[in-house]
Structure 1
Amino acid sequence: MRIALLYAVFAALATAANIGAQDMWLRWWHGPYTVTLSVLAGTAVGLVVKYMLDKRYIFRFKAQSAAHDGKTFALYTLMGVLTTVIFWGFEFGFHAVFGTREMRYLGGALGLAIGYLAKYQLDKHFVFRAPTATAPHA
């Protein structure tokens, strides 16, 4: 139960970081592709925040080296591609249907919540799994 609560809190923090980064981008950039670039910026910020929290507190993962950590982050990111499609689908869908920033953020938050549920299972089974034991050599 503790892990589920922590995961939910970290998902909320990453969601806040994502939406906050989007809002900051929108305040700064007024050129072409404003919404798309804000979503990309928010996604990047949320990804890094969530990786750092999950790695340390949820999965208690300790990388063997910077290269190992980089490979783990790459796999973590790859697992996030599917969940990002869910998140973006909700966010852009709400934007298309309602046309307001607030509703787009709500769609993004809902999409992130659904995506994080799926992402936990993917990360548990494919990213932060315990190393397999090797048979002793005779």
Structure 2
Amino acid sequence: MTIAVRYILFAVVSTLVNFGTQELVIGIAPISPLVLSILAGTAAGFAIKYVLDKRWIFHDGYTTPASEVRKVTLYALFSVLTTMVFWGFEITFWMIWETDLAKYTGGAIGLAIGYMAKFALDRRFVFMTAAA
């Protein structure tokens, strides 16, 4: 399986985890379900995506604690930047059409754009491997 196919597959898995978490939070949140669901979904998607990318995309093993902290920090910073794209699309679509379908469509578009940018950033600055 090529890196591109794995990356797309992992993006889909992360997106499903994100959206599944959002649906779960919406069902149980007593206040601000939209905000809480987006935050929880983003955190869940981030955790899954980091582990999958580290191991199966960039084939990055454990080195030192300092190196791992550096990687997670950079990965998180780039995630924040690309998450702003995701949130922008998701919230904009929801504000325009006010439906779950619109919210998730916007989210999917934003995630696709964000993941493309994130791959380039992670390859260049986080994991810096020749294999990816």
Structures share fold, TM-score greater than 0.5: yes
- Whether the 8 Å CA contact 2:123–2:129 is kept in 1: the answer is no
Would you say 1:42 and 2:41 are equivalent positions? yes
Mapped partners of 1:104, 1:63: distance in 2: 37
- Dislocated runs of 4+, deviation >6 Å: none
* Residue correspondences, number: 130
Name the stretch that deviates more: 102-111 or 11-20: 102-111
Matched position secondary structure for 1:89: helix
How big is the shift at 1:61? Answer: 0.5
Aligned pairs for 1:127-138 within 5 A: 127-130=126-129
How big is the shift at 1:66? Answer: 4.1
Matched position secondary structure for 1:63: coil
Residue identity opposite 2:115 in structure 1 = Y
Matched position secondary structure for 1:72: helix
The aligned residue for residue 2 of structure 1 is 2
Matched position secondary structure for 2:61: coil
RMSD between superposed Cα atoms in Å: 1.5
How big is the shift at 1:92? Answer: 0.2
How big is the shift at 1:103? Answer: 1.2
TM-score (norm 1): 0.89
**Aligned-residue identity in percent:** 45
TM-score (norm 2): 0.93
- Whether the 8 Å CA contact 2:90–2:105 is kept in 1: the answer is yes
Aligned pairs for 1:50-69 within 5 A: 50-69=49-68
Q: Radius of gyration: which is bigger?
A: 1
Mapped partners of 2:96, 2:8: distance in 1: 28
Mapped partners of 1:47, 1:12: distance in 2: 12
How big is the shift at 1:116? Answer: 0.2
How big is the shift at 1:106? Answer: 1.3
Runs (5+) with no aligned partner, structure 1: 132-138
Name the stretch that deviates more: 100-109 or 47-56: 100-109
Runs (5+) with no aligned partner, structure 2: none
Aligned pairs for 1:1-138 within 5 A: 2-31=2-31, 33-130=32-129
